[in-house]
């Protein structure tokens, strides 16, 4: 016997929300740790240098590595801000699917640069889960805005 459609929808929404919040919290931790550690240009230069000539780093990363090396102060400021921004948006459930896609892409870039931290595979699975569960933003700002729009449309049609 299967659960009614509404129960499956709620369960899926809750699982998606749990994955969304979990990956959001992990991004917040990553970004805050970088800020507290004084992450900056020198760290980006280390990543760019370690990627150069590394056989585990794919060739498609070379242009980004060169850009990182030439604009290390920019990337040193943007990386922690990106991580904190991803975390805030995911926890809030705002632009959920777009942010989950950016999250997965960012993790793929980190992985490509041979910067594999233990939680990155978990974060990638959680990001993919958020992408797969269309209703992952239901219990967040996205869901609130969708419900508000629906009420507004119902109010103008009646």
pLDDT at 5: 81
- Six token digits for residue 118: 């233990």
What is the model's pLDDT at position 27? 98
- What's residue 55's pLDDT? 94
pLDDT of the residue at 1: 53
Domain ranges of the chain: 5-34+80-157
Q: Mean pLDDT per segment of 10 residues, for the chain of length 158 residues?
A: 80 96 98 97 96 93 95 97 98 98 97 92 97 95 94 74
């Amino acid at each position: 016997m299967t659960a009614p459609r509404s129960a499956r929808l709620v369960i899926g929404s809750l699982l998606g929300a749990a994955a969304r919040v979990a990956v959001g919290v992990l991004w917040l931790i990553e970004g805050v740790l970088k800020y507290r550690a004084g992450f900056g240009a020198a760290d980006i230069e280390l990543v760019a240098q370690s990627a150069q000539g590394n056989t585990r780093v794919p060739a498609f990363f070379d242009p980004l590595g060169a850009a990182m090396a030439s604009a290390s102060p920019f990337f040193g400021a943007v990386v922690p801000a990106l991580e904190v921004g991803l975390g805030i948006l995911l926890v809030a459930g705002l632009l959920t699917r777009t942010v989950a896609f950016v999250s997965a892409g960012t993790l793929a870039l980190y992985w490509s640069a041979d910067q594999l931290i233990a939680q990155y595979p978990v974060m990638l699975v959680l990001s993919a889960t958020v992408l797969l569960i269309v209703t992952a933003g239901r219990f967040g700002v996205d869901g609130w805005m969708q419900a508000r729009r629906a009420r507004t449309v119902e109010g103008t049609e009646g």
